[in-house]
Amino acid sequence: MSTESNTKTIQGRTGSWELVIGLEIHAQVASNSKLFSGAAVGFGAGPNEQVSLVDAGFPGMLPVLNKYCVEQAVKTGLGLKAQINAHSRFDRKNYFYPDLPQGYQISQLFFPIVGEGEVLIDLSDGSQKTVRIERLHLEQDAGKSIHDLDPNATYVDLNRAGTALMEIVSKPDIRSAEEAVAYFKKIRTILVYLGTSDGDMEKGNMRADVNVSVCKAGAYERFRETGDFKQLGTRCEIKNVNSFRFMQQAIEYEARRQIEIIEDGGKIDQETRLFDSVKVETRSLRSKEEAHDYRYFPDPDLLPLELELAWIEDIKKSLPELPDDKRQRLVTQYGLSVYDATVLITEQARADYFEAAAKGRDAKLVANWVTNELLARLSKDGHEITDSPLPPEQIAGLVELIETGVISSKIAKTVFEHMWDGKGAVTPAEIVETHGLKQVTDTGAIEKAVDDIIAANPDKASEVATKPQAIGWFVGQVMKATGGKANPAAVNEILKAKLGL
Ligand code: ADP
Ligand code: MG
């Protein structure tokens, strides 16, 4: 698999440039309680209703590691084909912030629970590429400061303080905005399949820090050969990007900004930036010179984390079928194209829907209907596949009617419209019956239509003898006369006979 095929070059004034991107993704662990306390984790609780004395940083409170969160991190590591570290450790990252009452965040800097792994990303041209993972570690989230409730005060809500985050750090293997978005999407899909995070970006449960640098052709290859980061340009880190669209825009803006500075003879300062989604630009937040010294040290309240290999093995056995394996199976078991299979595996529920509808039916046809008509209509009307008004049996029923020649593919679109309007209450077969949409295979009826049209158009009929392709016009007329319901093969055959072809 190529690492270079999708590298996009960006044209500057002085020549072309290449992008290098690395992502740090923060995903909230799907868990009922926090990483080091028994306080509940949930959305929609009143301010400070889900806060224990540990989360509030009261003196003398001791953290107790949540085993379930550790299991979720291990599961995620296995899903990312990564090294699980039997030995890891928690460190304190010290800094002051009003929504961090402990005065430090417990994280894993030196010995993360998960080491190197890899992810296969799916690109729009149908190709795939491997992005390597550097590490995954567990850490606490901070609370929230709320600045817009009172002009003279800031409020602090500690409900989120202490919830478990997984930080997934990629190697700088990403070479375009499209690849960055594809990577973010794939990580989200894998986490949702595993059930280790709900991946809900609107709730802020998944967000990414995006590191971007630019360099000249050849520099990246030298970096890959030598591992020397100095071969690359200076990076800027765009904090907390929480939508696919913003990620795309932020990277495109940031790359342009850096290229312009360098081409004007300037230098890139390593800094942390924010993306302003209204102005569609990135802005400096702080430079590396102002960076805090976090004075990391091992948390004295927590023992090192030692995992038993048997426990890791048990977790491995409990893994569900992952997206890439599912795609492979859909292709071999049902003969689907890689493209259709990729659309279906994006969400587990989509693939499940497809498999339920495909039972005993022409699977490719089912995949077509699910990935085209159904998904388009669901998204247009703001539905998820999980609350589709049409259950899989309805699509199966429609495909059965096409397969058995009761309706043509064209009429099937009309039937689908009725199915959608009926919200699944009426079966496709009933719709065909009540609306008289059955394909006309009755040769008598077709013959009559053909006779009428030939009789009304003698000139055209004689023309066909010298210009056989003119038969197309007759086919169109017969279809029109039968409301599109005539069986096309029968129409052709009868026309040929009657026109003496
Ligand atoms: P920090 O905490 O200082 O941001 P991390 O190691 O956690 O450091 O994350 C650094 C991220 O930046 C990684 O995803 C890495 O791949 C990426 N990165 C490192 N150097 C570059 C570079 N020159 N250009 C783009 N991304 C980079
Ligand atoms: Mg960073």
Could you write out the three-class secondary structure of 92-127?
EEECCCCCCCCCEEEECCCCCCECCEEEEEECCCCC
Length of the chain: 501
Counting ligands in written order, the one closest to the CA of 270 is: 1
Full-model pTM: 0.89
Whether residues 223 and 110 share a domain: the answer is yes
Ligand 1 pocket, 21 CB below 6 A?
A: yes
- Report the separation in Å between the CA atom of 367 and the middle of ligand 1, taken as the mean of its atom positions: 40
Burial of 412 (0-12, 13-18, 19+ CB in 10 A): buried
Mean pLDDT score of the chain: 93
pLDDT of residue 340: 96
Say if residue 109 is in the same domain as residue 240.
yes
Q: Which residue's CA is the nearest one to ligand 1's atom 22?
A: 235
Q: How far apart are CA 320 and CA 311, in angstroms?
A: 17
Is 144 among the domain residues? Answer: yes
Residue 344 is inside which H or E element, if any? helix 338-345
Residues 6+ apart with CB under 8 A from 259: 10, 12, 17, 214
454 and 340 within one domain: no
Q: Which residue has the tokens 């003898």?
A: 465
Q: How far is ligand 2, taken at its centre, from the CA of residue 24, in Å?
A: 6
Same domain (yes/no): 28, 171: yes
Q: What is the 3-state secondary structure (H, E, C) of 158-191?
A: CCCCCCEEEEEEECCCECCHHHHHHHHHHHHHHH
Residue from 235, 268, 270, 290 whose mutation best tests the ligand 1 pocket (most atoms within 8 A of CB): 235
Residues 483 and 371 in one domain: no
- Which run of H or E residues covers position 480? helix 471-481
Query: Residue 136 pLDDT more than 80?
Result: yes
**What's the maximum distance between 2 C-alpha atoms anywhere in the chain?**
101
* Euclidean distance between CA atoms 496 and 59, whole angstroms: 93
Per the structure, the complete domain to which residue 384 belongs is given by: 321-435
Q: Using the atom order of ligand 1, give the atom closest to the CA of residue 172.
A: 16
**Residue 466 pLDDT > 60:** yes
Q: 470 CB less than 6 Å from ligand 1?
A: no
| Pairing between β-strand 104-107 and β-strand 128-140 as defined by DSSP bridges | unpaired
The SS3 of residue 27 is strand
- Are residues 234 and 382 located together in one domain of the fold? no
- For helices 471-481 and 458-466, give the axis angle rounded to 10 degrees: 140
Which of 409, 435, 461 delimits the end of a domain? 435
The pLDDT of residue 390 is above 70: yes
| 4: pLDDT strictly greater than 50 | no
Residue nearest to atom 4 of ligand 1 (CA): 237
Quickly count: other Cβ atoms within 10 Å of residue 178's Cβ: 17
Last residue of some domain: 289, 311, 333? Answer: 311
Closest CA to 177 of 284, 273, 254: 254
pLDDT in tens, 46-61: 999 999 999 999 999 9
One domain for residues 464 and 399: no
pLDDT given for residue 84 in this prediction? 98
Burial class (CB in 10 A: 0-12, 13-18, 19+), 370: buried
Tokens of 171: 């190697």
Q: How many domains does the chain have?
A: 3
* pLDDT, tens digit, 9 for 90 and up, residues 50-105: 999 999 999 999 999 999 999 999 999 999 999 999 999 999 999 999 999 999 99
- Is residue 5's pLDDT more than 70? no
Same structural domain, 382 and 457: no
Q: Is a pLDDT exceeding 70 seen at residue 291?
A: no
Residue 101 lies in a domain: yes
Q: Are 47 and 126 within one domain? A: yes
**Is residue 424 very low, low, confident or very high in pLDDT (cuts 50, 70, 90)?**
confident
- The answer as to whether 425 is a domain residue is yes
Same domain for 156 and 213? yes
Mutate to test the pocket of ligand 1, among 24, 132, 232, 262 (most ligand atoms within 8 A of CB): 24
Residue 289 has pLDDT above 70, yes or no: no
Least confident of 167-176, 313-322, 418-427: 418-427
CATH code of residue 447: 1.10.10.410
Residue 30: how many CB atoms within 10 A of its CB? 20
Assess whether the C-beta atom of 453 lies below 6 angstroms from ligand 1.
no
Burial class, 14, CB count within 10 angstroms (exposed 0-12 / middle 13-18 / buried 19+): exposed
Count other C-beta atoms under 10 Å from residue 327's C-beta.
23
Last residue of a domain, one of 284, 311, 338: 311
The whole-number pLDDT of residue 149 equals: 92
Same domain, 306 and 347: no
Rounded to an integer, what distance in angstroms lies between the CA atom of residue 312 and that of residue 330? 28
In ligand 1, the atom with minimum distance to the C-alpha of 211 is 26
Between the two ends of the chain, the Cα-to-Cα distance in Å is: 54
Radius of gyration for the alpha carbons in the chain, expressed in angstroms and rounded? 30
SS3 268: coil
Question: Which tokens hold the place of 454?
Answer: 């030939």
- 316 part of a folded domain: no
Say yes or no: 278 and 413 in one domain: no
Does the beta carbon of 171 sit less than 6 angstroms from any atom of ligand 1? yes
Whether the CB of 24 sits within 6 Å of ligand 1: yes
Quote the CA–CA distance of 277 and 427 in Å, as a whole number. Answer: 46
Query: CB of 282 closer than 6 A to ligand 1?
Result: no
Q: If you take atom 5 of ligand 1, which residue's CA is the nearest one? A: 169
